[in-house]
A and B are shown apart, each in its own frame.
Chain A
Amino acid sequence: METPRYYVPAKSHWPIFGAVAVFLTIYSMASIIHQSSQGQVGFFPVALAIVAGLLMLYMLFGWFGEVVNEGLRGLNSDQLKRSFRISMGWFIFSEVMFFAGFFGALFYARTLAVPWLGGEGAKGVSNILWEGFLPHWPLLKTPDMQQFPGAMSTIDAWKLPFVNTVILIISSLTLTLAHHCLRAKDKSGTLMWLVVTLILGVAFMCVQIYEYSHAINDLNLTMSSGIYGSTFFLLTGFHGAHVTLGGIMIFVMYWRVKNDHFTPDDHFGFEAAAWYWHFVDVVWLLLFTFVYVI
């Protein structure tokens, strides 16, 4: 078979569908948040959110389904496959920068803002506004304990968070094993390792949810317990969201392996999901180091 040309779809209704779905999702989320801070949330935004969510799902399945189908029909030239790889790489880079902003905030707060407020460093005079405030990290006693009532203590890094670190590292390994099996045409091995990865992912999330409830209920560590709680929940929260997304990707890969979508040397969808998973893993390692340990 001659190599197909670069495939340019004639037209597609998915993009506009996607734009509408994203808009409705975002609009309904904004409305819900907006109304909840104004008092109570009306029926309309909630209903809209549900509709929008369904539309999103339909769009994702439809659009990705179409792309998958084109791949299966052999429309994708090597060049197009390369396009997919490059785009996924840059997409992950954009995610890296998203987290970089948050880590930047964390470092700024702990190395500059908190010491200044506590009377240390170049802007230490600021302390006259917060008499009695002592800088330390993690920050448990905030400058204004009435507005931001601090936390009793932080989570011990070497207990459950460490377990979670191990879980995620192992999950990266099992995902790599699945990849090896895929390349060795060992379908049942691939499936098994994917399931193991997925279970580890779910386990991670369960531990994380347990940790959250422990933090909120027992340690009084919440988003409003000052800058430590803020950065803690921001970073771990967005990380958790990414684990969830990665988990969904792996689940889809499970389904696609099952349906023989991949060949040993043509399985970019699988690799993309794996890259994403490893990226999420690396974020966790940084998080573990800078949020929990140090």
Chain B
Amino acid sequence: MSEHSSDHHGPEKGLLRWVYTTNHKDIGTMYLLFALVALLVGGTMAFVIRAELFQPGLQLVDPNFFNQMTTMHGLIMVFGAIMPAFVGLANWLVPMMVGAPDMALPRINNWSFWLLPFAFGMLFCTLFMDGGAPNFGWTFYAPLSTDYAPPSVTFFIFSVHMMGISSIMGAVNVIVTIFNMRAPGMTFMKMPLFVWTWLITAFLLIAVMPVLAGVVTMMLMDIHFGTSFFNAAGGGDPVMFQHVFWFFGHPEVYIMILPAFGVVSHIISTFSRKPLFGYTSMVWATASIAVLSFIVWAHHMFTVGMPLVGELFFMYSTMLIAVPTGVKVFNWVTTMFKGSMTFETPMLFAIAFVVLFTIGGLSGLMLAIAPADFQYHDTYFVVAHFHYVLVPGALFSILAAVYYWLPKWCGRMYNESLGKWHFWMSFIGVNITFFPMHFVGLAGMPRRIPDYALQFAEFNAIVSVGAFIFGLSQLIFIYNLWKTVVKKEGEAATDKVWDKPEGLEWDIPSPAPYHTFQEPPVVK
């Protein structure tokens, strides 16, 4: 039987290779491709949003469809683009970084992936159902998402269930791989930071995805089985929905940023030609962020009318997160300090990450101040905040990671000047898009509206132009990938690829062979 010879087989031929595969590299690739497609779909929805908001007045879509676009954009970007992209990176990198032959549970790994296309297929199809797709925002507050929801909400709920299963299984796999598959000598405090951050991310995933499953289940019951969890007439409370949702939701946003911290730590150290400053404190800071993330959730709910003590508690705990995050930022800056830096595309994206993420973090800190949040809440100031941490934050780190490890994955260098073009266009585009949102937000423009008062017109036009610049620049990236991976243009990559990068993955050939570390390497 072929299973015995797990040592010798190479990839299967044809399409079925991808369907039946148990190989972490194949699965990683599929996750990354899936995320790219989701980014395009979600980005196209952002284009619809921005086109409608280009000028005041209703011109392209009706308000209900606009709400569907906002909702689906948020859902697809969060659950379809950013999270799967990080899982893809984990699949490719974690086994190579800890010296393991594969993920700990290869079949479950494939299963986790294949649940996603079905879950998103179902979610996407709600767009064509009677009454349209979910239109209640990615945060789906009850009762707008229960008694007042379009009929497609049932399918939305079940697709969230499927994503949940996929994420939990994927996270279990990562944790087990890290706990159990490290090469001899790879102690916890020698683990690369990407592995550390993913370990903590996986823990967060397992802790909060079930809570999301729980809250959509309660919704389902309120809609179809006559319960009254979110209905005061039966003794429930619509705000209870928000508490349970944000207990999931806040850790969720750190799920989208912790792996980014890992990626950036690697890249900055490599291109500064200097070991990362403060490895130990990086680990502790990551862990502290994760722990704190469980007790800050109600900062999304400062205006729901919580009792004063609750308000104060959540304000203080949220502010505290700035401390460990600051430690990380300072460590990165100090790593660059007195280095010998070069600025290849991954480094450019990583530096932009540090700057723009910090801007997003600082606006987050402003949001954390409860009395001030009364003014910011549900305006474009919040939209600006979270796009700064998500787009030039999470998304840039993913782009940086792809440029950084792509030569290792496919054995070819990408085209550096295209990479630079991609970076500068993205950098400029992203700032034109999201920086003015701070101003319109402060000036009083609420979020999730298809039409706005005249004083916001100029800035919205600028934002829309920026959005198209930023979105279309991503085509450069796709073209570069195409040239490198499919056309196989570009010079062959060396095994090290970069100037003295650290980590086991650079000891194996480029492209990384289908099977690596069948014999565990010894880590000194």
Contacts and interface: CB of A to CB of B under 8 A. Distances in A.
- Of the candidates B108, B114, B213, the one having the most CB atoms from chain A within 10 angstroms of its own CB is B114
Interface string B212-234: 01110110110111111101111
Contacts of B515: 8
A112 B243 CA distance: 12
Do most interface residues of chain B lie in helix, strand or loop, or is the interface mixed? helix
Given A33-B224, A97-B206, A142 B114 contact: no
Nearest to A23: B118
A108 B12 CA distance: 53
Interface string B87-114: 0000000000000111011111111011
Contacts of B107: 9, 12, 14-15, 63
Given A14-B107, A26-B158, A8 B22 contact: yes
Contact of B172 (A34, A90, A105, A229): A90
Interface in B186-226: 206-211, 213-215, 217-218, 220-221, 223-226
A223 B214 contact: no
Interface stretch (A80-88, A207-215, A248-256, A269-277): A80-88
A94 interface: yes
Interface stretch (B1-9, B269-277, B447-455): B1-9
Nearest to B111: A15
- Of the candidates B122, B180, B215, B308, the one having the most CB atoms from chain A within 10 angstroms of its own CB is B180
B124 interface: no
B210 A15 contact: no
A289 interface: no
Chain A interface extent, by class: 35 or more
B226 A222 contact: yes
B240 interface: yes
Contacts of B231: 147-148
A15 B114 contact: yes
A155 interface: no
B247 interface: yes
Do most interface residues of chain A lie in helix, strand or loop, or is the interface mixed? helix
A191 interface: no
A86 B178 CA distance: 11
Contact of A87 (B5, B110, B172): B172
B181 A104 contact: no
Interface in B447-503: none
Contact of A16 (B108, B114, B210, B213): B114
B247 A104 contact: yes
Given A94-B209, A112-B237, A19 B118 contact: yes
B250 to A, nearest CB: 14
A155 B244 CA distance: 27
B221 A223 contact: yes
Interface residues of B, number: 83
A52 interface: no
Interface in A94-144: 94-95, 97-102, 104-105, 108-109, 112-114, 116-117, 121-123, 126, 129-130, 139, 142-144
Contacts of B339: none
A11 interface: yes
A230 B122 CA distance: 28
Contacts of A101: 210-211, 214-215, 244, 247
A267 B114 CA distance: 30
B165 interface: yes
A30 B154 contact: yes
B334 interface: no
Contacts of A158: none
B233 A148 contact: yes
Contacts of B6: 5, 7-10
B229 A105 contact: yes
A40 B122 CA distance: 22
B220 A33 contact: yes
24 contacts: A8-B106, A11-B21, A16-B114, A23-B162, A27-B122, A36-B224, A38-B151, A83-B105, A90-B176, A94-B168, A94-B207, A95-B210, A101-B244, A104-B243, A105-B214, A109-B229, A113-B236, A139-B235, A143-B232, A147-B228, A223-B227, A224-B228, A230-B227, A233-B227
Given A8-B22, A11-B21, A94-B210, 14 more contacts: A16-B110, A19-B115, A22-B165, A26-B122, A30-B122, A34-B155, A83-B176, A90-B206, A91-B172, A94-B206, A99-B214, A104-B247, A105-B240, A226-B235
Interface of A: 5-16, 18-20, 22-23, 26-27, 29-30, 33-34, 36-38, 63, 70, 75, 79-80, 82-83, 86-87, 90-91, 93-95, 97-102, 104-105, 108-109, 112-114, 116-117, 121-123, 126, 129-130, 139, 142-144, 147-148, 222-231, 233-234
Interface of B: 2-3, 5-7, 9, 12, 17, 19-22, 100-102, 104-111, 113-115, 118-119, 122, 151, 154-155, 157-158, 161-162, 165, 168, 171-173, 175-176, 179-181, 206-211, 213-215, 217-218, 220-221, 223-229, 231-237, 239-240, 243-244, 247, 305, 307-308, 515, 518
- 7 closest Cβ contacts across the A-B interface? A224-B226, A101-B214, A148-B234, A144-B233, A227-B235, A19-B114, A122-B307
